Amino acid sequence: MMIKQPIIGNLRAVSRLFVYRSLNFKNIMISLKETIHGTSVVMVTVCTSMIFTWVLISEGIPNMIAEALHGFGLPGWALLLVVIAIMLVAGMVMELVPNLFLFIPIFFPIATEIGIDPIRFAIVMLVSLALGMFTPPVGATLFISCYITKVGIEKTIKDILPFFVAGIVVVLLIAYVPFFTLWLPE
């Protein structure tokens, strides 16, 4: 199945414009309209997640999460599993950068306290958040990808399920087997 792509930003479009000269003014306007619409969808999603981050920070949610995690008295491996779960859920709701601003001050001291290498913990956070961004039902990147490719979410969810399971396995390997992340720095 051929996916219709915007004309601008495409190598074929450049060749149509300069080599074959088959790109006319009408097609350029259609491309600009599609580009503006696609960009606005992405920017609304990013701006909404930034507002949500501001609300969370202003309400003191990060401090409440940190206090609750310390209050559970969990062993290090279980605490890391809870952090991964929180990162997956947070990745579903907000973009990567706001999540990093929100959760690094909370989880980094906890991770160093239980003896996790900072490099390994950073990779666990990034991979968990990235995986959460493609996780239904709220994953922002999932919706943006479905919009751009013009494929329904229900079909996409069915197709990405094996990759999601593989991603969970990768996150757990990174989190609990230090060799996978620390062999290169050492």
Residue 115 backbone zone (phi > 0: left; psi -120 to 50: alpha; other: beta): left
Where residue 157 falls among pLDDT bands split at 50, 70, 90? confident
pTM of the model: 0.66
Q: What are the sequence ranges of the domains in the chain?
A: 11-182
Q: What is the DSSP letter of 167?
A: H
> Binning pLDDT at 50, 70 and 90, where does residue 170 land?
very high
In this prediction, residues 146-161 reach a mean pLDDT of 84
